[in-house]
Amino acid sequence: MTHQFPALSEAQKRELHETALRIVSPGKGILAADESVGSMAKRLAQVGVENTEENRRQFRQILFSADDRINSCIGGVIFFHETLYQHSDNGVPFVKMIRDRGILVGVKVDKGVVPLAGTCGETTTQGLDGLAERCAQYKKDGAVFAKWRCVLKISDSNPSKLAITENANVLARCSSICQQNGIVPVIEPEILPDGDHDLKRCQYVTEKVLAAVYKAMSDHHVYLEGSLLKPNMVTPGHSCPTKYSPEEVAMASVTAMRRTVPPAVPGICFLSGGQSEEEASVHLNAINNCPLAKPWVLTFSFGRALQASALRAWRGHKENEKTATEQFVKRAEVNSLACQGKYSGGDNYGEAGHRIFGSCHAY
Amino acid sequence: TMTHQYPALTAEQKKELQEIAQRIVAPGKGILAADESTGSMAKRLNPIGVENTEENRRRYRQLLFTADERIDSCIGGVIFFHETLYQKSDDGVCFAKLIKDRGIVVGIKVDKGVVPLAGTNGETTTQGLDGLSERCAQYKKDGADFAKWRCVLKISETTPSQLAILENANVLARYASICQQNGIVPIVEPEILPDGDHDLKRCQYVTEKVLAAVYKALSDHHVYLEGTLLKPNMVTPGHSCPTKFSSEEIAMATVTALRRTVPPAVTGVTFLSGGQSEEEASVNLNSINTCPLNKPWALTFSYGRALQASALNAWKGDLNKEKAGTEEFIKRAQANGLAALGKYKSSGRAGAAGQSLYVANHAY
């Protein structure tokens, strides 16, 4: 316990810390475009598009060919492995397109959830095997950060002590390995919004989960200044009869973070979960206006909440591409304002208010 | 089960605890640790030739507590030893009342000292949990609104061990939980002694591990962080470390360690002075407050010797030197009040603490 065997040199720490800071620069957040092939099936099915590699490429191209307006809103893009090696119509690698505009490239590195035997439907996440080698290769191929998602559920019996400690441990192992390879880990301990629990219960569980996560990070000697957190906002369950204002959601979220996330963590990039585009932006804005001391950046790492309108505008038709891209740019700009607490909200253009929810999903 | 909350405190209880904590560490204020046990007082009084009697201990604390209104803006709380809580001034006024009436929060040391952890290399835990709830309830009636509990850890080749870290973190969390149930704000003190020849980096590493364990235990025990205070050691090199470090380096190491482990919800961090001189303790606290990293908690003092050493020396038990003793205490109180705001200008003596390895804005 007593001697340090430094995991990282000063130069390695500086690189990781600077990368993390760049991703969450003021006004910027993350575009989570890392849907797996299986998850893309669900997205594309909803708009009547076949889930082919080409269609997946075309949709990501719609996002990545957005104009300079997104350069001040998007600090990083999370890629799925397949997408990292795809090109635009003009033969430009997607990675290069993104990097050349000063946006950092990230990659999803986990290999999905697997069951925890003996629990009530709980999971851990696999993907540690050969992770060091994979990270080293991704670094060569242009990635500077990675994302790993764990999933927890609230129910009468969940999350169990095992699920909490096991998922915290695997997040910490992932982080440690990433940092050894110059990759900033974005750790995602997602507590699903499924259920009828109220806001308070979600806050309680979030606090317990995050306390375990940061204890594991400490035990595994992870350099917090070179990491980012991607948590759920604290919200009531989807079937909760009580409605809460954005301010209540914000207060609960910020309080939970204040009780568990050390100030050394440069940024907290909330996931959007089942929230609609507008809901997610309004909540993020309220979070940034919450009158409690918030020593980390509080921004977004949104998937659906940045892409839903774009997807619906596209519907797989080439002639809709520009319109679709425009929808994405608009959400990027809105969230850029929201992460500075400057979004005045209620801009119900397009499909932004449409509720997005797929029950008990795992992607 | 992990999933349901059985709220430990009502909203009113939480509000009261948080407000007490905030009052203690209001801007420019810190804590006078006047809770030396009878045994510790012997070590203070013998060197100045004063007999360690109950009356002498009473007279000495009176010297501190009768300081004029100049301390009202620097002292947010006073920690009492049990005996002192029930002593009175020459005028027959209870010390607790004297302090409370001037708007300073009354605190009480509630632990019962260290005991050995068998099978370790000289490590300890701290006892005092038995009947603690009843004692807290009584102290609250008698005017106390906060308490202090000290655990001790040591740095050596083999320590602190995993057991020492976990056991001390656990007992601090139990204590904190019980205090809050009785309307008492717990000050949690996991002191890592400065004994040894380890360097600054090593102390920082150990401090980070200890504090991570402390806050995990506090979470496990459902402690309301906003209604607590932390009393840690500053991160310093060991006493026999050959390398000297500047106060900026000490500040950077200390603030970095805290940033990596102490959740922002904790209302304040009130440093112990350990073996530091009065001036050193003020200069280091000042550097901590001017450290250019985001520091979301109050960073102030909870000093014993670093507030009292000169007072004791000026007094030496002499009836005619009481005012002089009080004046020395007031001076240190004001110095530390400024240091807690990052506005203290040293009188010069502490500059000895190192020119050799100053590295600007460097964190380990």
pLDDT tens-digit map of B249-308 = 999 999 999 999 999 999 999 999 998 999 999 999 999 999 999 999 999 999 999 999
Report whether B271 contacts B234 (CB < 8 A): yes
Q: Is residue B355 part of a domain?
A: no
Number of compact structural domains in chain B: 1
Picking from A2, A214, A262, the nearest residue to B160 by CB comes out as A2
- The answer, yes or no, to whether residue A348 has pLDDT greater than 70, is no
Give the pLDDT of residue B188: 98
First-to-last C-alpha distance (Å) of chain B: 39
pTM of the model: 0.92
Give the minimum alpha-carbon distance from A63 to chain B in angstroms, rounded to a whole number: 35
* Contacting residues of A for B295, CB less than 8 Å apart: 263, 295
User: Phi, psi (5° rounding) for residue A283?
Assistant: -65, -45
Would you list which residues of chain A are within 8 Å, Cβ to Cβ, of chain B? 1-4, 154-161, 164, 200-201, 204-205, 207-208, 211-212, 214-215, 218-219, 224, 255, 257-264, 293-295
Cα separations in angstroms, A169 against A162, B95, B147: 10, 51, 35
Residue B176 three-state SS: helix
How, if at all, do strands B30-34 and A297-302 pair?
Answer: unpaired
Give the pLDDT of residue B350: 45
- The answer, yes or no, to whether residue B352 has pLDDT greater than 80, is no
* Contacting residues of B for A155, CB less than 8 Å apart: 3
Give the pLDDT of residue B122: 95
Gyration radius of chain B over CA positions:
20
Give the pLDDT of residue B348: 63
The ipTM is 0.89
Domain segments of chain A: what residues? 10-343
Q: Is residue B26 part of a domain?
A: yes
| Residue B12 annotated to the active site | no
Report whether B235 contacts B203 (CB < 8 A): yes
Q: Is residue B86 part of a domain?
A: yes
**How many whole angstroms separate alpha carbon B361 and alpha carbon B364?**
10
Contact B156 A161 (CB under 8 A): no
Q: Is residue B85 part of a domain?
A: yes
Please report the sign of the dihedral spanned by the C-alpha atoms of residue B285, residue B287, residue B289, residue B294.
Answer: negative
Cα separations in angstroms, B188 against B174, B230, B246, B272, B355: 11, 5, 27, 11, 33
Mean pLDDT, chain A, as a whole number? 94
Q: Is residue B230 part of a domain?
A: yes
| Residue B123 annotated to the active site | no
B285: CATH? 3.20.20.70
For the segment A96-119, the average pLDDT, to the nearest whole number, is 96
Q: Is residue B351 part of a domain?
A: no
Q: How confident is the model at residue B99 (pLDDT cuts 50, 70, 90)?
A: very high
Q: So which residues of A are the catalytic ones?
A: 188, 230
Give the pLDDT of residue B275: 86
Q: What is the pLDDT of residues B203-234, one digit of tens each?
A: 999 999 999 999 999 999 999 999 999 999 99
Superfamily name and number for A10-343:
Aldolase class I (3.20.20.70)
Give the minimum alpha-carbon distance from B263 to chain A in angstroms, rounded to a whole number: 5
Q: What is the pLDDT of residues A148-189, one digit of tens each?
A: 999 999 999 999 999 999 999 999 999 999 999 999 999 999
Report whether B140 contacts B105 (CB < 8 A): no
Give the pLDDT of residue B347: 73
**How many whole angstroms separate alpha carbon B313 and alpha carbon B332?**
13
Domain that holds residue B267: 11-343
- The answer, yes or no, to whether residue A357 has pLDDT greater than 50, is no
